[in-house]
Amino acid sequence: MACMLLSLNKTKITTPSTSLAFPWFNLQNTPNFLGFPRKTFQKTSIKCSSVSSLTPHELEETLDNYEGEEERPLSESWEEIQGCNDWEGLIDPLNSHLRKEIIRYGEFAQACYDSFDFDPHSKYCGTCKYQGAHFFEKLDMRDYGYQISRYLYATSNINLPNFFQKSKLSSVWSIHANWMGYVAVTTDEEEIKRLGRRDIVIAWRGTVTYLEWIYDLKDILCSANFTNDPSIKIESGFYDLYTKKEGSCTYCTFSAREQVLAEVKRLLDYYRGEELSISVTGHSLGAALAILSAYDIAEMGLNYMEDGDNEDSRPKIPITVYSFAGPRVGNLKFKERCDELGVKVLRVINVHDKVPTVPGILANEKFQFQKYMEDTISFPWSYAHVGVELALDQTQSPFLKHTNDISCAHNLEAHLHLVDGYHGKGQDQFRLVTKRDIALVNKCCDFLKSDYGVPPNWRQDENKGMVRNGEGRWVLPDRPRVEAHPAETAHHLDQIFKIVRSTPASLNHDH
C-alpha cells in the first residue's frame, strides 16, 4: 500500500460522473451518503522512492528486472488471472499479472486495518476513521480507480468477543456495532479498460490482536442455512458474525450478510450488460468472511445475470476470493459446494503462520478418510480448506529477521512482501519484482532487520488524530456521522429472496 514513505507524481484524469456510478442517489439533489465528492479527482501515480536504505549491492541482489513479464495485457487474460482455470501454470513460477493482482487485492484488505479505529480511548473505537468519499484518498489509494459504494457493519453480540474493539468511554458511537469493511466498485474508465471489466470488490476486516479470536473458536459446525442441504456446514462463530443482527442498533438492523447481498444485487442491476467481476478479499478472520460471503453470493445465484431464456444460458459473473492467512471455514461438504458453484479461492499463506492450520486439527483436507468420517459417522469437527494454496516462507526473505513473534508470521504486509519476492517452489532466491517498499512490513509489527532503519509499528495518524481548536486547545474532533444503510437495502433484499423462493429447489441447489 502506498504510504508516507512513497513519492507521489500527480496527473489529471477525467472520471465518469459519480452520480452515474451510484444510482441510489443524485449527487446534486440528495444527501451525500458516505460523503462522495462532487468533483473529479487528481489521479495519483505512486512510485517507490527507494527500497528503504539498501546498499547498491543489496539492491542488485534483491531487485529483479523479471524478464518473464506477461506479454498479453491484463484486459485479455483477466479471467485466467481471476482463476477460471484454478491458476494452473500461473503460480509456479508466479505469473507477473497474478503477482500484481494478489498484491493489489491484498492492499484492499490492508486498507481495512489502516482505516480502522482500534483506540479504546476514542469514542469512535470500532468504526472507520474516514468518510467514504475520502476513504481511498486518505489511504493514498486514490489512483486505484475505485469508489466506496457502502460500508459494512456487524453486531458484537456474538460468540467472538476478542475480535471486536470496544471503547472504554461511556459515550460512544455504537454499543453494539463494529465496522467490518466495505464494498467498492471501479469507476475510473482507464482502470476499467486496464482490468478488462468493471470490478466489484468486497473487503473484510480481520484483527491485529493475533490469535486471541482463534481461542474463541469452539470447532462447532452449524448448517449454513443458505440452501436446502443441511450437510453444508460452517464454523458457528463465523456464521454468527455474518448473519446476526441487532434491532436496537441502527448499524446492525441488517446483518452483514444482508448488507453484502443487497449491495451486490444493487450494483449488478445497475451495471447489467457490462463485463463484470466480483472480487472478495480479507486477511485472518476477514479471509474467513471473504470465503463465506463469496459462497453465499454464488449459492443465492446473484452472479447469474438476468439475461437469457433459461438457467443454463444466463451469463455468469466470476467470483474470486483472495484470501490471506485465513483459517478453515467449513466442512468438506462446504468445500465441495464452493467448487460446484465455481467460487475461485486463492489462499495466500505463510508456512510459519498457525492460523491457516485451524480449526480442524483432528480432521481436515489432509486426512485420508475425511469424506468417510463426514458421510458415515457425521464427525462434528471436520474442516477443509477451499481453493488453491500459494505457500510462502518468511525465511526466504533476506529483509526479515528471525523471530519467534507469531504475530509477525501472520502480518498481512509481510505476506505482500513475500509475494513480491516469490518466484516459485524450489527457487530459493528472493528477488523483489514490483519493488514494493519494504518499510511497509513494519507498519504494525517489528519484523524487518534493524539494519534497514525502519522503526517498528510506525503507522499512526498525525498527533494521533488530535487537532488544535480555535481556543488553542488540543481536542479529538467530532467525525461526521455516516449513514448506516442506503434506503433501498430492504428493497434489494426483498428482490433477492423473492427470486430464490420462486426458483425450484433442484435448480437452486445445482444452478
Residues marked as catalytic? 284, 353, 410
Q: Residue 183 pairs with which residues in a beta bridge?
A: 150, 202
Buried b (16+ CB within 10 A) or exposed e, 434-473: bebbbbbbbbbbbbbeeebebeeeeeeeeeebeeeeeeee
Whether 5 and 452 have beta carbons less than 8 Å apart is answered as no
Q: Could you write out the three-class secondary structure of 309-350?
A: CCHHHCCECCEEEEEECCCCCECHHHHHHHHHHCCEEEEEEE
Going 78 to 198 to 292 to 342, the CA torsion angle's sign is: negative
Task: Report the distance separating Cα 189 and Cα 20, nearest Å.
Answer: 13
User: If you write DSSP's letter for every residue of 381-431 in order, what string do you get?
Assistant: TB-B--SEEEEE-GGG-TTBPP---HHHHH-HHHHHHHHHH---TT-----
Q: Residue 203 pairs with which residues in a beta bridge?
A: 182, 281
The helix/strand/coil state of 180 is strand
Task: Report the distance separating Cα 79 and Cα 318, nearest Å.
Answer: 8
Task: Report the distance separating Cα 52 and Cα 452, nearest Å.
Answer: 6
Q: Residue 349 pairs with which residues in a beta bridge?
A: 391
Helices (H), 141-246: 189-195, 236-243
User: In angstroms, what CA-CA distances link 188 with 20, 42, 191, 193, 317?
Assistant: 12, 11, 5, 9, 20
Q: What is the largest CA-CA distance in the chain?
A: 73
